[in-house]
Chain A
């Protein structure tokens, strides 16, 4: 774990380690202890805030992040913030960007954000429309791989074989079907938009750099951040960062960047670990390690990780060659 410290090793300090960090999402919100999404949102919006000198407007889809941050009459946001609906955040952000353009305020940047359910599923049409028009919006997806706000149901981002409230394993069913799910960063790239990236709260420096870079690019940009959820995934609340790092290290959450539809870079995994190390600590995969489960089940996920290693060139060896 020592390879990705939170602190200020090696050059520029992180926004989060700065005493004067913007605190876009302040304390007092109602997120669970150890919530990866709260952390991811604070890191991302703070980075955008610092890069633009506070010139950001944020549109939020319905989901945990919205519900826990803005319970009237309290509000944890110190940036201008608008919540409309679950499935329309990209279109609302398009409208905000259009308003700024009509007034000639092009130094103000627009961010839309939502969970994986808002992004992969119900808001997919609006998101694709926003990409299609190349609207000047940075869309950030906080990927906790299920509908957490409604009680951990399956989404299009739920990994194969994961247990959710709507994919409860039994004797003949091992959790979310391996044939299902989609790869939204790839779908975003297929729209040919200027910038797509994946990030993880296990690597805050990388996350901040990607957001800082993306916020000033013109046109549609998409960043997807892996944000473990202690409640929905079933692990102790202190383990959020560790779980996030394990996902990256085993290859199940590849960190990469794409520009105009092409993969342009990825973060290599120094010492890859078997997926089992990532899966075992989480209750949502516990059924894969029961007595009567064939080893093949974990193999399905290991194959995905191996595929990612190759596809996104995550191995040091490959890079060296």
Chain B
């Protein structure tokens, strides 16, 4: 049924429909409304047999979820930015222990300087932690991805992080289709753990592993992630059959057939990009868009296949690695090595900086742009600050 809902409330309802047995979280903007929402649903009795736990930190939030999932119960938490960094040790631990819990990440910049607005620095900081990472483009997809996330996690035995842009999605009111409990129950069967703490069948989980086995354990985690590419597709397909919506999967292609330039991106900015591309194509240009849903595992082969016939790929991303540059850009560049496609890095939207259609249009049309564009950067501020910064660091000789 359609509802006019705030993104966070829609996600809260989707999570509740998945019948988790334990939910715990610690407040941080912009994730707060999600946990407030699920908390209320639990207390109002909408969610039976569910324990909602207020914890004292994000480290505890994910640790509680680790404990409950290891005891065989479907578990959920959510965080953003600093909160994700605070729980980082447990992030690795959850995937290392192969616990299929689900976490929403309301994407937000990382400080210092402290900044509560949206970008993808938080998600990028955990890209190698062994979690499956899915990015939502719209609030509808955020809802749909949560339903799919539990199924994928439990099939693969690997935690799944659903990334939703802070404020842009979490705080935006949109018309969203929330499925019924019966429909979700048919789509997502009750959780049956592969191993769990059980007094009738004692196991030890979380052993110390020596060099004789550790390499294989990590390698198998990699294999498992790569194998999950197929499962992510299967789940998206069965979602489509059940709910009639094309949500999830590896990535969404938009007018990529015959496109000369393909813009590759993550998250909600894909919507703005599609609008720009529509306008450009109406005036005779040949642009296409790829919005990545599955960032980890990285769908390298399928992506390469979709990009190989274009002349140019523009990677628009809301994060960059200080000291080297665009992150998704590097991954795509590596993917396209020896293939004659010019790859352009566009870093934009950092710390909540607006990404406007006119900015994008100008950028996309500039066929002679360098390889590294920092879109929307205020050059006046940079010029003013850079000169004293540079002269300070160059004062005197390096001893």
Decide whether A and B assemble into one complex: yes
Q: List chain A residues, Cβ under 8 A from B213.
A: 72-73
A222 to chain B, nearest CB (A): 16
B199 touches A56 (CB 8 A): yes
Binds B, one of A77-85, A200-208, A279-287, A292-300: A77-85
Measured CA separation A87–B64 after assembly (Å): 12
Whether A35 is near chain B, meaning CB under 8 Å from some CB there, is: no
Instruction: Determine which residue in B59, B198, B209 has the highest number of CB atoms from chain A within 10 A of its CB, and name it.
Output: B59
A residues near B397, Cβ cutoff 8 Å: none
Q: Across the interface, do B202 and A79 meet the contact criterion of CB distance under 8 Å?
A: yes
Whether A72 pairs with B210 at a CB distance below 8 angstroms is yes
State which residues 83-100 of A face B: CB under 8 Å: 83-85, 87-88, 91-100
Whether A88 lies near B59 (C-beta < 8 A) is yes
Provide the bound-state CA to CA distance between A102 and B68, in Å.
9
> Across the interface, do B63 and A71 meet the contact criterion of CB distance under 8 Å?
no
The 0/1 profile, CB within 8 Å of A marked 1, for residues 58-93 of chain B is 011101111111111101000000000000011001
Which residues of chain A come closer than 8 Å to B207, judged between CB atoms?
A: 70-73, 75, 83
Q: Mark B20-35, 1 if CB is under 8 A from A, else 0.
A: 0110100000000000
A57 to B67, CA, bound (A): 11
Taking A91-B67, A133-B54 as contacts, is the C-beta distance between A102 and B204 under 8 angstroms? no
A245 to B185, CA, bound (A): 60
**A192 contacts the other chain (CB 8 A):** no
Any A CB within 8 A of the CB of B203: yes
Assess whether A54 is interfacial by the CB under 8 Å rule: yes
Q: In the complex the two chains form, is B67's CB within 8 Å of A103's CB?
A: no
B66 adjacent to A125 (CB under 8 Å): no
Contact flags (1/0) for A45-81 with B, using CB distance below 8 Å? Answer: 0000000001111011000001100111101011111
B73–A129 touching, CB < 8 Å: no
CB distance from B82 to the nearest CB of A (A): 15
How many angstroms from the CA of A61 to the CA of B51 in the assembled complex?
Answer: 24
CA of A93 to CA of B71, assembled, Å: 10
**Cβ distance A15 to chain B, nearest Cβ, rounded Å:** 18
Among A73, A80, A97, max chain B CB count under 10 A is at A80
CB distance from A52 to the nearest CB of B (A): 9
Q: Report the Cα distance A92→B203, complex, angstroms.
A: 16
Q: How far is the CA of A209 from the CA of B52 in the complex (A)?
A: 34
- Decide if B70 touches A126 in the complex (CB within 8 Å): no
Residue of A78, A79, A82, A85 most packed against chain B (CB within 10 A): A82
Q: Quick one: given A57-B199, A72-B210, A128-B56, are A77 and B204 in contact (CB under 8 Å)?
A: yes
| A residues near B244, Cβ cutoff 8 Å | none
CA distance A101 to B73 in the complex (A): 10
- Contacting residues of chain A (122-139) with chain B, CB-CB under 8 angstroms: 125-126, 128-129, 132-133
In contact, A84 and B66 (Cβ under 8 angstroms)? yes
| Contact A96 B57, beta carbon cutoff 8 Å | no
Where chain A touches its partner, the secondary structure class is mixed
Docked-complex contact B64 and A94, CB < 8 angstroms: yes
The listed residue (A95, A101, A132) touching B56 by CB distance below 8 A is A132
A125-B51 contact given A94-B67, A95-B75, CB 8 Å threshold: no
How distant is A220 from chain B, measured CB to nearest CB, in Å?
A: 13
Indicate whether A108 reaches chain B with its CB closer than 8 angstroms: yes
B22 touches A88 (CB 8 A): no
Q: How far is the CA of A11 from the CA of B323 in the complex (A)?
A: 72
Candidate in A54, A100, A132 with the most chain B CB atoms within 10 angstroms: A100
- Which of A56, A59, A71, A126 meets B59, CB within 8 Å? A126
Please tell me if B389 contacts chain A, counting CB pairs below 8 Å: no
**In the bound complex, CA of A94 to CA of B21 (Å):** 13
**B41 in the interface (beta carbon within 8 A):** no
Interface string of A264-288 (1 = CB under 8 A from B): 0000000000000000000000000
Question: Is B359 located at the chain interface by the 8 A CB criterion?
Answer: no
A67 to B21, CA, bound (A): 31
**Cα distance A124–B69 in the bound complex, in angstroms:** 23
Q: Given A85-B90, A132-B56, answer yes or no on A99-B68 (Cβ-Cβ < 8 Å).
A: yes
Asked if B72 contacts A99 (CB within 8 A), the reply is yes
Residues of chain B with a CB closer than 8 A to A99's CB: 21-22, 51, 67-69, 71-73, 75
A81: contacting residue among B65, B72, B205, CB under 8 A: B205
Nearest-CB residue, chain A, relative to B49: A102
Point out the residues of chain B lying under 8 angstroms from A102, CB to CB.
21-22, 49-51, 68, 73
Residues from chain A with a CB closer than 8 A to the CB of B53 are 94-95, 98, 133
Contact of B68 among A70, A77, A96, A133 (CB under 8 A): A96
Distance of A224 Cα from B57 Cα, bound (Å): 24
From 189 to 204 in chain B, residues with beta carbon under 8 angstroms from any chain A beta carbon are 197-199, 201-204
Contact with A along B208-234 (1 / 0, CB 8 A): 111001000000000000000000000
Return the contact of A83 from the options B59, B65, B75, B205 (Cβ within 8 A). Answer: B205
Report B-chain residues with C-beta under 8 Å of the C-beta of A93.
67
Q: Closest CB-CB distance, A81 to chain B, in whole Å?
A: 4
Residues B67 and A96 in contact, CB atoms below 8 Å apart? yes
Taking the complex as formed, is B341 at the interface, i.e. its CB lies under 8 A from any CB of chain A?
no
Q: Is B55 an interface residue (CB 8 A)?
A: yes
What are 15 pairs between A and B in contact, CB < 8 Å? A71-B208, A80-B198, A82-B204, A87-B89, A88-B90, A92-B63, A92-B64, A92-B67, A94-B64, A95-B24, A98-B22, A98-B51, A99-B68, A129-B60, A132-B56
- Top 4 closest A-B pairs, CB basis? A95-B67, A129-B56, A83-B206, A99-B71
- List B residues at the A interface (Cβ < 8 Å): 21-22, 24, 49-51, 53-57, 59-61, 63-73, 75, 89-90, 93, 97, 197-199, 201-210, 213
Sample of 13 further A-B pairs with CB below 8 A, known A85-B93, A98-B24: A71-B210, A82-B70, A82-B206, A84-B67, A91-B67, A92-B64, A93-B67, A96-B67, A98-B22, A99-B75, A102-B22, A103-B49, A129-B60
